[in-house]
Amino acid sequence: MEMSHLASKLQALGLRLPEDFIVHMVLLSLPPQFGQFKVSYNCQKEKWTLNELISHCVEEEERLKHDRIESAHLATTPKSKKRKTAKEIAVDHASIKKQKKHKEGKSSCFFCKDEGHMKKDCTKYHAWREKKGLPKLSDAN
């Protein structure tokens, strides 16, 4: 409709555009949802006038509206969600603290969890390996 209005304004100024050109421009300006409509127009032998194109576009738009599936997304939260106890909160807080220490570069032993040394230097780890009869770390490599 807008292009038809623009074409009539141009005609009033003395510039007459061929109707086939206007129909072509209208078809190019249609949104992607009209893809099937464009294909069916291009496959037929007869060409439409601007008024015929407008009426067919209105029909196609109504068909698209009718075919559109309306949907709604529902989001819920569980009603039985229990609150954390003070002990659970403390455990979470302690694990966050450990993660922060690890990120800050303060290393701790993976075996005894003490800070300041690594597992390979841990006296408790070496004693445990000796008790199990495992070879010393320097011998294992």
User: Higher model confidence: residue 101 or residue 4?
Assistant: 4
Distance from C-alpha of 23 to C-alpha of 51, rounded to nearest angstrom: 9
Beta bridge partners of 115: 108
Q: Say how far apart CA 53 and CA 4 lie, in whole Å.
A: 11
- Please give the model's pTM, rounded to 2 decimal places: 0.40
Give the residue-averaged pLDDT of 77-97.
Answer: 71
* For residue 58, pLDDT beyond 50: yes
Please name every residue paired with 108 in a beta bridge, in sequence order, or none if there are none. 115
Residue 81 has pLDDT above 80, yes or no: no
- Give the mean model confidence (pLDDT) for residues 5-25: 80
Q: Any residues with CB less than 8 A from the CB of 33 and at least 6 apart, and which?
A: 64
> Looking at the predicted structure, is the pLDDT value of residue 141 above 50?
no
* Burial of 30 from C-beta contacts in 10 A (0-12 / 13-18 / 19+): middle
> What pLDDT, on a 0 to 100 scale, did the predictor assign at position 106?
64
What confidence score (pLDDT) does residue 124 get? 92
Structure tokens at 124: 């408790």
CB 37 within 8 A of CB 30: yes
- Cβ atoms of 112 and 125 within 8 Å: the answer is yes
